[in-house]
Structures are given as structure tokens and as C-alpha cells.
Chains A and B, each alone.
Chain A
Amino acid sequence: MTRRTVEPILWLLFSSGGVMAALFVPVLLFLFGLAFPLGWITPPDHDHLQAVASHPLTIIVVFVVFVLCLFHAAHRFRYTLYDGLQIKHLKELVAVLCYGGAIVGSALSAYVLLTVA
């Protein structure tokens, strides 16, 4: 094993994020983005939500889901820019921006989740 790129690791993050995004995001987005605000389903009261959200297990799961989703999105968006806009010459910049965004987002997630608890 001589040469190693980070690409395989990024891809692993991308694909596990893809699984997370496929499994969790539709239902969560439906509930919090539409059903609750629009009153299709009575939103859970604050205390219940607070209780669920501050449970250590939830914190871990939500953190994992968020981080993986961010890396999934960053990786995919990076290639969308390559393919769709043909900006090969900006390769490095695009990569830095995409994954940089994901790292910042992950840090923010950690911060927010800890403050909820």
C-alpha cells in the first residue's frame, strides 16, 4: 500500500451520509418542515421535545446523522459543480469550500446539540 488518497474516506462518508439522508431526512423534514408548522399533525409540546432531544442517545444519533448528511451533501455538491459547470480549473477551491462547509457545520451541530442538553 504505497499511495493513498483521502478520496476513499470521503466516499465512505458520502455513502453512509446517503443512507442516513435517505432513511431519516424525508420523515423528519415532513414532520418539522410541513406537518407540525402547518398543523396537519399537532406538534409535540416543548417539554416532550426537550426530553427527547436531550436524551444522550438522541444527541449521538442526531449528531451522526447531521455530520454524515453534511459530508454527503458536500461531496455530492462538489461533483455536481465539476460535472454541471465544468469548472475543473477551480478544483481545489471547490473542494475546500465544500468540505470546509461540512466541517464548520459539524462543529456547529456539536455546539447546538450540547446547548440543548
Chain B
Amino acid sequence: MSGHPAYTEFHPRWYRRQMSTWWWLGKRAYLVFILRELSSVFVAWFVVFGLLMLRAVGQGDGQYQRFLDWAASPWVVVVNVVALLFVLLHAITWFNLAPKAMVVRLRGQRVPGSLVAASQYAGWVVLSAFVIWLLVGAG
């Protein structure tokens, strides 16, 4: 006999419920979760889009202009708007949840999660500003 409790290991009369394929519609939190997970598709899309752009840049000014025109076509704009929303969802959820994975200590004191999140947001803003400056301002 091992340390395991003496159960009736299996019982035919237990009622076992199956989760429906649509379980994530049942609760707001689950829906947000699935949307957050779907952001992955749009992150991938961003890489594809970026590669197309870089290839155009590599092929000279003409291709670059054509790329910009293509990117202004309605369906690409729509895709990018949606993608931006998803990517923002990703960024926000990521910054909010990341403090959970790390315990940051300053002089022996645990830094509260809200502070960690706030500093991440600050970093985000600075970095975004730098990218804009690099691409637009420094020209």
C-alpha cells in the first residue's frame, strides 16, 4: 500500500462535463484572454509587413514609393488598424502582467508591482519617441 488515499478510483456514475469549443465566449475574462492570444497572428503579420517594406527599400526609391502606395490601399489599412489594436492589447497586457514574473528588490524592499509596471510604461514611451526621432526627426 502506498501513500495514496484509498479512493474508489473510478466511478461510472460521476457526471463528467466536457468543455465546449466555445468556452472562451462564456466569460469576459476568457474572451480577453483569447483576443490577447490572437495578437500573435498580428505580431507575425507585422514581421511580414516589415520584411516587405525593407525589401522595397533595398530595391530603390521607386519600389519604396510603390510600397507606400500599396500600404495605403484600403484593405491593407484596415488590416493594419486591426493589427495595431491587437498589438496594443498585447503591449498593455504584457506590461501589466510582467511584474508578476519578477520580484524586483531595491535595498531589500520588494518594489510594488504597480511601480514596476509604471516604469515599464515610461520606458516604452521613451523608446517609441526615440524610434520616431530616428526615422522622422533626424532626417
Contacts and interface: CB of A to CB of B under 8 A. Distances in A.
Q: Establish whether A and B are touching in the complex (CB under 8 Å).
A: yes
Interface of A: 15, 17-19, 21-34, 36-39, 41-50, 52-53, 62, 66, 69-70, 72-77, 79-80, 83-86, 101, 105, 108-109, 112-113, 115-116
A84 B34 contact: yes
11 contacts: A21-B94, A23-B124, A25-B91, A36-B71, A37-B72, A66-B47, A66-B51, A73-B40, A73-B43, A109-B47, A116-B58
A19 B71 contact: no
Given A26-B87, A28-B46, A53 B54 contact: yes
A85 B21 contact: yes
A39 B63 CA distance: 17
Given A34-B81, A77-B40, A80-B38, A44 B94 contact: no
B94 A19 contact: yes
B43 A69 contact: yes
Interface residues of B, number: 55
Contacts, number: 166
B9 interface: no
A79 B57 CA distance: 35
A77 B41 contact: yes
B47 A105 contact: yes
Contacts of B50: 28, 32, 62, 66
A33 B83 contact: yes
Contact of A80 (B34, B46, B80, B127): B34
B111 interface: no
A27 B124 CA distance: 10
Given A29-B87, A45-B61, A72-B40, 19 more contacts: A19-B98, A21-B46, A24-B127, A28-B131, A32-B71, A37-B69, A37-B76, A46-B61, A46-B65, A50-B57, A53-B57, A66-B47, A70-B47, A84-B37, A108-B51, A112-B51, A112-B54, A112-B58, A116-B57
